[in-house]
Structure 1
Amino acid sequence: MKRIPACLIAASVIALSGCLRSDPQDSAEPEPMPSTVVAAPATIDAALLANRNFGEAPVLLEQVGTGALPPVSDRLPENPRVILPVDETGRYGGTIRRVLIADIIEEDEVYKTLTDSLMMFERPLAERIEVNLAESYEFLEEGRVALFRLRRGIRWSDGVPLTTADFLFWYEDMTFNDNARSVALFPSEWLIDGKPIRMEAIDDFTLKFSAAKPMGRLLQALCKDPVAYPKHHFAQYHPRYNPDATYGDFRQRTSEARIIMEPGVPVLSAWMSTGWVHGQKIVYQRNPYYWKIDTEGNQLPYADRLEFAIVPSLHVINLMLLNGQVDMVGRYDLTDLYAEMKQEEPKGVIKVRVTGPEAGNAYYLNWDAHNPALREAIRNKNVRMALSHAINRAEMSEIAYQGMLIPGGYSFNRLSPYYSEESYRKYTAFDPDKARALLKQAGYRDSDGDGWREFRDGSTFSLTVDVPVASNSKDDSVELLQEYWQDIGIKTNLNYGLSEIIYTRRLNGEFEVLAWKFNAPADPLGRPQVWAIMTANTPYWHRNASSEGPEWLHEATRYMKTAMATVDPDAVFDTMARVRDLHTENIPNIATGSKYHIWAFNTRLGNVPRENARDYEFRGWSGPLMSEQIYIKHEP
């Protein structure tokens, strides 16, 4: 069999370019970060690994002394994952205090903070892919077969060994089984040319993946959500292993929220849940079997506890941050609070970071809107071009984003290896006269002089924008959008709602226009279901695309599927450039640009990264923080 070096595959499938900065006149930029000398060994001493002379937290050492736990050398795998601290070797103890506006609807933030998968994106910037639970891997048969070898000796938080049976349980019994799967559709990243990738166990520590075509996106898929769950725990609730069990009960028990938040579920993460009061807080304590160490051989994490308080108000969250009651805030849009935070920063309680640029907001148009007149209008390219040209992105940047928005359109952004400046700027020039002319050309006029254009059936051309409250959509920018679109004769209503309500409307296709963060412009192949017709009811903004979608979207879908089954980086680039151009030219949705991200942390924390990718595909803001190596310098 012909072998492909793992490093070549990694380069071909990640190929992430550096962040291209905007011109100074275009937007504000973050302050340059000072260079740092890391006060920890760059690599671990081989003799330390050979002698297995590891350090551990005092609270665990006490349990070893009483016989409640085996020695740390027996709890760690043969070859632990070694993490280089951001600044220095930390100290044990204390609690990292985080905050969420909700628990169940925000479970993905907890997931990104805690979960580990077979592979992982480099942190804090996703410039390459690294081994994680896997110790090594190789691709065979030109990428149609891949072998992954697990680190021997990794254990779940209850001490039970991790084996390939846990991966097969996730794939065969939880994901492949339509009755057991907690979501309706089989995940598209595990399909090659419409057929599921095959997974099998060679032995307890070797996994084999195979497909009829090269698996060009396998490493990315293995960097995201966990692909192993504790079979010894969940099998008792699965009808395949327990005839008294039901699939309904199994799906409830294996929801992402319950897996990550419910006490008693064995995990592989740095902390394990010990308390969850719905709507109030989630409490985690260190996992005694966590399988990562620092470069001095100390078992991670440094912090004894991780807590998430549930606070459904960004204003209150900011007050808690300024008062020293919260350690880190960064999931939400803090632009409105930036000036206040910078004013408070000299007092020494908080440190403010500005990183990016990253995906900004977008306005997703429902191509299958319930109103047939609006549906017809949305499917008219001239209308979509008009909606984009009506937006004054430069003004929006100054008023709503304090100059931190880099104007751009519906195309791959500056973090993408397939980025094109020309494509990024297409249809973004502020030109309301051109917008009015495009609407007139499309047949939408104000025939009665009341200031509003009419649909073809004579009714008022109106639409409603769904806006999630306390989420990533900026109210100021949406109100400006309303003003811009009404200025060209389109009556624009704003429907504010709690995030979970707006998200449910998105899932059910009940929205007309949705204000949401631009999905995956840095790595479209990471979320192909947003950019292509990968399965029934996708993309969510055109659920009927498989039967009613335009030819250009079907063509883009074919290109994306080709790219997902390609390991040649040049071929992937050429193919994805075509996808980029098709989407950019046809502007199915309206984007506003890329923006810098504002986040902050309490100065009592050590080893907080200076940069952050904060892209959904690279595990958002929380994943790149490397929380396991953050430590408490002093208690509040």
Structure 2
Amino acid sequence: MRIAWRQICLNGLWIAGASLMMANIAKAEVPFFKASVSAGTMPPMEERLPKTPLVVTPMEEQTIGEYGGDLRTLIGGPSDVKLMFVNGYARLVGFTPDLEIEPDILEAMDVEEGRIFTMTLREGHKWSDGAPFTSEDFRYWWEDIAQNPKLSPAGPPASLLIDGELPKVEFPDERTVVYSWSKPNPNFLSDLAGAAPLLIYRPAHYLKSHHENHIDRSKLTPKQKIMLKSWAAQHNRLDNLYKFDNPDLPTLQPWRNTTASPATRFVGERNPYFHRVDPEGRQLPYIDRLIFTVSENRLIPAKAASGDVDLQARGLRLQDATFLKENEKRSHYEVRLWETARGSHFTLYPNLNSEDPVWRKLMRDVRFRRALSLAIDREEINDILFFGLAVEGNNAVQKISPFYTEDLRTKWATLDIDKSNALLDDMGLTERNKDGIRLMPNGEPLVIIVETAGEETEQSDILELIHESWEKVGVEVFTKPSQRAVFRNRIFSGETVMSVWSGYENGIPNAQSSPADRAPTTQTSYQWPKWGQYFETKGKSGEPIDMPEAQRLFDLYQQWLASTDDDEKAQIWREMLNIHAEQQFTIGVIGGILQPVVVAETLRNVPKEGFYNWDPGAQFGMYHPDLFWFEN
């Protein structure tokens, strides 16, 4: 089975019109680089592009663009500079707006039996510093990073394990890389195409000089030999392809970050060796620079309304839409409302791995989780905060998913105070204090501390409404915000009782979509972080699953991995979704939220309608920001 999809056709067009395209390329140097090319410090465009660049055809409503301009956007903190990588969305293979996977950085991908993946690199493709991009960059990651215990103590990523088996990795020549397993790996392509993808390559020419296996000790000074003892920490600090905060690290993205962190303003400049061209043979991206300015999240809507951005979605909520619309003409932008695809916009995560034995026992009792869900007035939350436009219900799937049913959305997720009280009474939580708050088995009031990353005032608003409705069943809520890194570490260590985050990223799955996040496979599943940690570290940390329903989800996921039959995969998905609805492992509240997108009136090729989603989608990534351009 040859999976090269549309790129094969495009390459066919390339071959048929090679002379014409190369002539166009020779005449169409990017203005941003003309001075450097004229001075001889940079090769001309035809020498910077791979022999067969990826020809990107604009979608129906998009047009051929013009070069130039700075695109301004606001970010919530220095770590958000990674959005240059996310939205640039150059991947070995990537999702199209139709959620199909096509080659991108790769010229082609051959897949045999769902288990043998042969990758063909583009001849002449180069990193952003002009160094060749070859199979050596894949070999270096696999042999010198992923299997080096000092750089990767847990070994290669758990996502590469199929039934405990790591892949066989081969490098037949400088343009070919082969990953193979004895069984199918249906997640491999989608992992490579993710917003935060599985990165199986590194710029070897840059990182080798910081790796003990490639350093000539005979040439080191005594001081350098002492420093060599901490080489692994230095290597990891520099190796930030995804974090995008090391300006010296070569990249394959359309823009390269030129600003070291920490900073309040990050500048991304176009990559002179980027591998994509438009149908006229002109190298992409059209826009010269990205300007990312750090702002407090609460100020982003006001700054967007003042015309301080050219493209903005992060930090904007549906509640801001009216205010933003009122300022369209004055600040010369347009507000567009994109759909979102998450299973739920706002989700409560009971920590089944809480360190506190009393809380752990409560959270693991399905009656407790169901009672909490039944005591949430989702209709009130929708009406007050989302103009009645949201979808009330579980953290499940959206209507356009083939697995959608009303039962998945509403089971244990409609307001029923009497049933909630009955479930809590049935658990033996019948004693209350003078304020009407139930008492836990240890005699303490049933006060749930819900932890947040402290980034969204919307979360506090929703929690306040939940607080009011939970009081009716004798449960009190306190909200504890903290910085995101602290928030996550507390969850991972079991210090939290309950947390808040958005729901499952892919709320529109089909049979081919991976159900990995519906099983205990990652510590970033906040309802069972230690079970996920145990899987990710191959048992070196975390805890083994010790709950039958969660184990069933894990077993079903393993069956999905082994299956090659779409009907069987679909049936597995349905059983997993039903288990989640029945068990309320996560408590979804509200979903189907529209995302405001502010677009400068001179910015072209940003779709009028779209999905704003992390994975699949990479926010703007799958709509090709390298095609966005400024008129005039």
TM above 0.5, one fold?
yes
Identify the residue that residue 28 of structure 1 maps to in structure 2. Answer: none
CA drift at 1:526 = 6.9
Identify the residue that residue 14 of structure 1 maps to in structure 2. Answer: none
State how 1:221-620 maps to structure 2 within 5 Å. Answer: 221-224=191-194, 225=197, 226-242=199-215, 245=228, 246-256=231-241, 260-276=244-260, 278-315=262-299, 317-347=300-330, 349-359=332-342, 360-414=345-399, 416-471=401-456, 474-522=459-507, 530-534=517-521, 539-545=525-531, 546-547=543-544, 549-594=546-591, 595-620=593-618
Q: Look up the SS of the partner of 1:194 in the other structure.
A: coil
Unaligned runs of 5+ in 2: 8-12, 218-224, 532-542
Partners of 1:267 and 1:301 in 2: CA distance? 14
Letter in 1 for 2:613: D
CA drift at 1:186 = 4.5
CA drift at 1:5 = 4.6
Partners of 2:236 and 2:39 in 1: CA distance? 39
For the pair 1:191 / 2:178, whether they are aligned, the reply is no
Partners of 1:108 and 1:158 in 2: CA distance? 19
Deviations 1:14-37 (A, max 9, x none): xxxxxxxxxxxxxxxxxxxxxxxx
Same amino acid, percent of matched pairs: 25
User: 1:444·1:456 contact (CA, 8 Å) conserved in 2?
Assistant: yes
Partners of 1:391 and 1:443 in 2: CA distance? 21
Q: Aligned pair in 2 of structure 1 residues 179, 268: CA closer, same or farther (>3 Å)?
A: same
Partners of 1:221 and 1:348 in 2: CA distance? 40
Identify the residue that residue 10 of structure 2 maps to in structure 1. Answer: none
Unaligned runs of 5+ in 1: 11-42
Deviations 1:425-463 (A, max 9, x none): 211111112111111111112344431011112211111
CA drift at 1:610 = 2.4
Partners of 2:263 and 2:430 in 1: CA distance? 49
Q: Look up the SS of the partner of 2:301 in the other structure.
A: helix
Partners of 1:251 and 1:312 in 2: CA distance? 29
CA drift at 1:515 = 0.9
Q: Aligned pair in 2 of structure 1 residues 561, 333: CA closer, same or farther (>3 Å)?
A: farther
For the pair 1:89 / 2:64, whether they are aligned, the reply is yes
Q: Look up the SS of the partner of 2:462 in the other structure.
A: helix
Letter in 1 for 2:292: F
CA drift at 1:523 = 6.7
User: 1:109·1:622 contact (CA, 8 Å) conserved in 2?
Assistant: no
User: 1:473·1:517 contact (CA, 8 Å) conserved in 2?
Assistant: no
Q: Aligned pair in 2 of structure 1 residues 7, 292: CA closer, same or farther (>3 Å)?
A: closer
CA drift at 1:604 = 2.2
Identify the residue that residue 15 of structure 1 maps to in structure 2. Answer: none
RMSD across aligned positions (CA) = 2.6
CA drift at 1:342 = 1.6
Higher mean Cα deviation, 219-228 or 551-560? Answer: 219-228
Identify the residue that residue 130 of structure 1 maps to in structure 2. Answer: 102
Partners of 1:129 and 1:375 in 2: CA distance? 41
Q: Look up the SS of the partner of 1:617 in the other structure.
A: coil
User: 1:333·1:598 contact (CA, 8 Å) conserved in 2?
Assistant: yes
State how 1:140-159 maps to structure 2 within 5 Å. Answer: 140=112, 142-159=113-130
User: 2:95·2:102 contact (CA, 8 Å) conserved in 1?
Assistant: yes
Q: Aligned pair in 2 of structure 1 residues 527, 571: CA closer, same or farther (>3 Å)?
A: closer
User: 2:318·2:594 contact (CA, 8 Å) conserved in 1?
Assistant: no
Q: Aligned pair in 2 of structure 1 residues 70, 543: CA closer, same or farther (>3 Å)?
A: closer
- How many pairs were matched up? 591
Q: Aligned pair in 2 of structure 1 residues 184, 605: CA closer, same or farther (>3 Å)?
A: farther
CA drift at 1:99 = 1.3
CA drift at 1:164 = 1.1
Partners of 2:568 and 2:119 in 1: CA distance? 25
User: 1:121·1:130 contact (CA, 8 Å) conserved in 2?
Assistant: yes
Q: Aligned pair in 2 of structure 1 residues 505, 406: CA closer, same or farther (>3 Å)?
A: same
Deviations 1:469-497 (A, max 9, x none): 22496321121122222221111101122
Higher mean Cα deviation, 393-402 or 291-300? Answer: 393-402
Q: Aligned pair in 2 of structure 1 residues 522, 222: CA closer, same or farther (>3 Å)?
A: same
Partners of 2:545 and 2:259 in 1: CA distance? 48
Q: Aligned pair in 2 of structure 1 residues 448, 303: CA closer, same or farther (>3 Å)?
A: closer
Identify the residue that residue 170 of structure 1 maps to in structure 2. Answer: 141
User: 1:472·1:517 contact (CA, 8 Å) conserved in 2?
Assistant: no
Q: Which of 93, 102, 107 is the equivalent residue of 1:119?
A: 93
CA drift at 1:549 = 2.8
Partners of 2:520 and 2:130 in 1: CA distance? 43
Letter in 2 for 1:260: F
Partners of 1:507 and 1:552 in 2: CA distance? 21
Deviations 1:381-435 (A, max 9, x none): 1111111111111211121222232012132344544333321221111111211
Deviations 1:163-190 (A, max 9, x none): 1111222233223334213x96743322
Partners of 1:300 and 1:306 in 2: CA distance? 14
For the pair 1:212 / 2:182, whether they are aligned, the reply is yes
Partners of 1:255 and 1:323 in 2: CA distance? 34
Letter in 1 for 2:99: E
Partners of 1:163 and 1:90 in 2: CA distance? 31
Q: Look up the SS of the partner of 1:275 in the other structure.
A: coil
CA drift at 1:139 = 1.8
Q: Aligned pair in 2 of structure 1 residues 108, 622: CA closer, same or farther (>3 Å)?
A: farther
Partners of 1:314 and 1:327 in 2: CA distance? 18
Q: Aligned pair in 2 of structure 1 residues 496, 168: CA closer, same or farther (>3 Å)?
A: same
User: 2:4·2:109 contact (CA, 8 Å) conserved in 1?
Assistant: no
State how 1:25-104 maps to structure 2 within 5 Å. Answer: 46-48=16-18, 51-53=21-23, 54=25, 55-86=28-59, 87-104=62-79
CA drift at 1:517 = 0.9
Q: Aligned pair in 2 of structure 1 residues 506, 523: CA closer, same or farther (>3 Å)?
A: farther
Q: Look up the SS of the partner of 2:179 in the other structure.
A: strand
Identify the residue that residue 6 of structure 1 maps to in structure 2. Answer: 3
Q: Aligned pair in 2 of structure 1 residues 487, 314: CA closer, same or farther (>3 Å)?
A: same
Higher mean Cα deviation, 584-593 or 192-201? Answer: 192-201
Letter in 1 for 2:326: Q
Partners of 2:363 and 2:146 in 1: CA distance? 35
